[in-house]
Amino acid sequence: MSDFTNTLPHGDLIERLAVLAQNSTVIDSSFYEQHDVKRGLRDSNGKGVVVGLTEISEIISQKKDADGNSVPCEGELYYRGIPIEDIVRGFIDEKRFGFEEVTYLLLFGKLPTAGELKAFSELMSSMRSLPISFVRDIIMKRPSVDMMNVLARCVLTLYAYDDNPDDVSIPNVLRQCLQLTAQMPLLSVYGYQVFKHYHDEESLIIHRPDRTLGTAENILHLLRPDGAYTALEAKILDLCLVLHAEHGGGNNSSFTTHVVTSSGTDTYSTVAASLGSLKGPRHGGANIKVVRMIDDMKNNLDSYSDTEIRNYLMRLLNREAFDRKGLIYGMGHAVYSISDPRAKILKSFVGLLAKEKGLEEDYTLYSKIERLAPEVIADKRRIYKGVSANIDFYSGFVYNMLGLPPELFTPIFAVSRMSGWSAHRIEELSNNGKIIRPAYNAVAERIPYVRLADRH
């Protein structure tokens, strides 16, 4: 059987058919307003359309004023009703890691006691392994240039290693979710090591996870040839995992988790679908764009003066710099306007890491961009809400300082977000909801059928 897609004549045909397919599906943008359809499930002010209820997390970006009008406010994020600032302050003040505690909180709706946290952390550590020969037979057999593709393939393949993959009872789903949460760092780092070995001809170094370490420390241990890291590095990576663990049920990948779970399918298919959502550059890849934008800026600036930075930012908006998309990456958020609480928390630690790495000048550049970009955007465009730095603005800088390669930026996001996805999957199953099936208004004209011989 010939390969339809790899022969030139077929390639030409596909190009022509692609144009035909695209032209046949373009809908007049005015129809959305006529039919009162919210594109992207967001209204004209960017506010999300309510499609469900959740107890897992809450985002607040607006509050009522004295006259009952909604006005922008400092962004707030709650995990199970607890402010994210209080959660972070709790484990930072006690000089311990927070990701396992947050995973417990999101899954079970309460903060663990010391004994419960110890038992849960030990359970997670015991699950931080892969089936025998999985790295050799699955990850190494077909290396990929994209680590999110590696994660999705591996997760789907783990279905075949599960003796009870399709059981959607809560105990079985919880077991599967915890196992995948524990395995995700291994799949990510091993996939990257294999990619570098086969594509860049670097030495292949595969460390075994250390069961005495938590998630953040194990990521650094697995990634680095000598397995070494500083206490500050592990502390800040753990903080990033906490801040990315969950962000309201309305984000694209968590909504995907609810939608796919509602069909009654298995955990592996659900997580693979959520990974596919996160892989999209509009969702999980923004911090990579920030890093590349900053690199381009540094290569095109004579100095880091406010005037030079402002001019470059204006060139970005005018589609004259970087990728010419007219965007200042890391600025603005679909929900937050005045501030992203996650960015504020992370920034308070970024300076410490920059000092340890001798990158204070870079930190100053980031800080200036954060200050100047909202002013430039306000001068250039009419915006319906304020613009502030989001967490992606600083997380890419942090990952760079930690020596994490860009190929792992989004997979690290997935490592963290497995906590939120797991909680949302269990929430959907626990409430016995109906299959999620939104309606689309059909706007195509009715036309008569024409016999084949009469078509032109």
* Tens of pLDDT, residues 355-393: 999 999 999 999 999 999 999 998 887 665 678 999 999
pLDDT score at 384: 54
Q: Rounded distance, CA 88 to CA 102, Å? A: 10
Establish whether 197 is a catalytic residue: no
Question: CB under 8 Å to 150, separation ≥6 — which residues?
Answer: 139, 144, 187, 188, 191, 195, 411
Q: Which of 27-31, 150-154, 397-401 has the lowest mean pLDDT?
A: 27-31
In angstroms, the first-to-last Cα distance of the chain is 31
- Which two tokens mark 240? 């990033």
The alpha carbon torsion through 89, 95, 100, 103 (nearest 10 deg) reads 0
Establish whether 392 is a catalytic residue: yes
Catalytic residue among 238, 333, 340, 424: 333
Cα 29-34-36 angle, rounded to 5 deg: 100
- Which two tokens mark 259? 């939608």
Q: What are the beta bridge partners of residue 42?
A: 48
Confidence of residue 334 (pLDDT cuts 50, 70, 90): confident
Q: What are the beta bridge partners of residue 79?
A: 57, 82
Q: Rounded distance, CA 415 to CA 278, Å? A: 11
Q: What is the pLDDT of residues 384-424, one digit of tens each?
A: 567 899 999 999 999 999 999 999 999 999 999 999 999 99
Q: Rounded distance, CA 104 to CA 79, Å? A: 11
Closest CA to 332 of 385, 294, 394, 369: 385
Closest CA to 242 of 124, 92, 354: 92
Q: Rounded distance, CA 280 to CA 331, Å? A: 18
Domains and their CATH numbers in the chain: 8-36 (no CATH), 82-281+409-430 (1.10.580.10), 286-401 (1.10.230.10)
Catalytic residue among 238, 266, 340, 392: 392
Q: What is the pLDDT of residues 81-136, one digit of tens each?
A: 999 999 999 999 999 999 999 999 999 999 999 999 999 999 999 999 999 999 99
441 near 35, Cβ under 8 Å?
Answer: yes
Q: What are the beta bridge partners of residue 71?
A: 63
Q: Rounded distance, CA 243 to CA 246, Å? A: 7
pLDDT score at 64: 86
Residue 146 neighbours by CB distance under 10 Å: 14
Residue 109 neighbours by CB distance under 10 Å: 14
Q: What is the pLDDT of residues 157-194, one digit of tens each?
A: 999 999 999 999 999 999 999 999 999 999 999 999 99
Q: Rounded distance, CA 174 to CA 419, Å? A: 11
Q: Rounded distance, CA 29 to CA 9, Å? A: 35
Pairing of strands 82-83, 70-79: antiparallel
